[in-house]
Amino acid sequence: MPHFELDARRMFCPMPVIRTQDKIKELNIGDTLEVVSTDPGALNDIPAWCRINGHKVIKTRDADDEVFILIEVCDV
């Protein structure tokens, strides 16, 4: 399945969520997307947005002042 990346560094919430939402609109079910953000709030907000909108968070991690959220697109 195709994998995509989204650079949402130097943006503050809710911008990383908005960019994730807009990117996911272009993707297909089963695609994966990794979002990178420098706002630690993204670690709460992006998974919350995914739960609400029916997408799956596969993994989150946090390294060197950056957070990574790996998402599987489930419902488009």
Which active-site residues does the annotation give? 13
**In the complex, minimum distance from the CB of residue 65 to other proteins, in angstroms, rounded to a whole number:** 9
Give the C-alpha separation, 35 to 17, whole Å: 9
Of the candidate residues 2, 28, 29, 48, the single one contacting other proteins (CB under 8 A): 48
Check residue 45 for interaction with other proteins (CB under 8 A). yes
Interface with other proteins: number of residues (CB under 8 A): 19
Residue 66 to residues 17, 25, 31, 49, 52, Cα–Cα distance (Å): 15, 24, 23, 19, 24
Q: Is 76 helix (H, G, I), strand (E, B) or coil?
A: coil
Q: Closest CB to other proteins among 31 and 39?
A: 39
List residues near other proteins by CB under 8 A: 10, 12-15, 17-18, 21, 39-41, 44-45, 48-49, 51-54
